[in-house]
Amino acid sequence: MKILLVGGNGQVGSELRRSLAPLGEVVPTTRSGQLPDGDACEAADLADPATLPALVARVAPDLVVNAGAYTAVDRAEDEPELAMRVNAQAPAALARACAQASLPIVHFSTDYVFDGRARRPYREDDATAPLGVYGASKWAGEQAVRESGAAHKIFRLCWVYGPRGGNFLLTMLRLARERELLRVVADQHGTPTPAAWIADATAQALRARPDATGTWHLAAGGQASWFDFASEIVARAAAMGVIARAPRVEAITTAEFPTRARRPAWSVLDTSALAADFGLKLPDWRTGVTQTLEVLRQN
């Protein structure tokens, strides 16, 4: 089996290069046409969706996996057109090309499609109402994939992080080395999920039910505020010797940490459909923090 992996260099994309390898030949694309080790690969610009059907035709895969996205939540408010091209029009073009060639597609979306007013974990068919441009662009991308006619798996993810790339854990470790005090919002709740777990679960779902079509929530177990996540990161990192000492972490409100984009106050995802359909249940989010810090310590 040949797998075209678009966005093969992001947090999830780089873990998918590893986790999908046992399923077949993985053909990654990056924006530059280069992988981090300097090796050449396919180049694909998601800001130019019209070029994507030719990419699919040239590679002639058996499956397309799209891990590329515009993920700068605040910046998206000032670049809505670019965010829409990358997060909505590019997946639309990929999914239409898949439909035409009778290929299945795997696509990823986000908890930020919800407005956060729920009082229980979000289910797949709960009403969406994105608060910002990023969430709106990801919702439009999901809809385009569903409407393309291609067999698809859409996995909605939450608070993704890992040892590489831009993410909250790496930001907290940097700030922990620079500051005595971290101030972190305690009134937004979700579930921090390692990119490696997402990539492993994606590979397992493809193996278990290659033909299943639909949308599933995919996140670690439990729930946390960003303050809980930051507190766990600095406590574990100090205990494991990843940072020399733990700074104090202060719980603040969203109002005390103004950002360009609004974010949902609650975006915990109900993952029971993933368990029922694929037999997949991810460990508690705290286990992921320790595992990721272990990878960083070894590097």
Ligand X SMILES: Cc1cn([C@H]2C[C@H](O)[C@@H](COP(=O)(O)OP(=O)(O)O[C@H]3O[C@@H](C)C(=O)[C@@H](O)[C@H]3O)O2)c(=O)[nH]c1=O
Residues of the shown chain interacting with ligand X in the complex, contacts defined by CB under 6 A: 71, 73, 110-112, 158-160, 168, 171, 175, 182-185, 188, 226, 257, 259, 263
Instruction: Choose the one of ligand X, Mg ion, ligand NDP, none that binds residue 269, judging by a C-beta under 5 to 8 angstroms depending on kind.
Output: none
Asked if 110 contacts 131 with a C-beta cutoff of 8 angstroms, the reply is no
- Alpha-carbon span 11 to 60, nearest angstrom: 25
- Picked from Mg ion, ligand NDP, ligand X, none, the partner binding residue 281 (CB below 5 to 8 A depending on kind) is none
What length does the chain have? 299
- Catalytic entry in 70, 112, 134, 161: 134
Residue 226 binding: pick among ligand NDP, ligand X, Mg ion, none (C-beta 5-8 Å cut-off by kind): ligand X
Using CB under 5 A as the criterion, what x/- string covers residues 57-76 for binding Mg ion? ----------------x---
Helix locations, the chain, DSSP H: 11-19, 52-59, 73-76, 80-84, 90-100, 133-147, 168-178, 195-208, 226-239, 272-278, 285-298
If the CB atoms of residues 34 and 259 are measured against ligand X, the closer one turns out to be 259
Task: Give the contacts of 272 (CB within 8 A, at least 6 positions apart).
Answer: none
**CA 73 vs CA 70, 78, 107, 133, 264: distances in Å:** 8, 10, 19, 8, 12
Give the whole-angstrom CA distance, residue 141 versus residue 92: 6
Catalytic (active site) residue 70: no
Minimum separation from the CB atom of position 177 to ligand X (A)? 13
Strand bridging mode 152-157 / 105-110? parallel
Q: Report the interface residues with ligand NDP, using CB under 6 A.
A: 7, 9-13, 31, 44-47, 67-71, 86, 108, 110, 138, 157-160, 165, 195
Q: Which is nearer to ligand NDP, 69 or 88 (CB)?
A: 69
Task: State which residue has the least CB distance to ligand NDP.
Answer: 10
Query: Are the C-beta atoms of 247 and 180 separated by less than 8 Å?
Result: yes
Cβ atoms of residues 129 and 114 within 8 Å:
yes
214 CB neighbour count, 10 Å cutoff: 14
Nearer to ligand NDP, 11 or 148 (CB): 11
Among ligand X, Mg ion, ligand NDP, none, what binds residue 263 when CB lies within 5 to 8 Å by partner kind?
Answer: ligand X
Shorter beta-carbon distance to ligand X: residue 106 or 182: 182
Catalytic positions are 134
Q: Using CB under 5 A as the criterion, which residues of the chain lie in contact with Mg ion when the complex forms?
A: 73
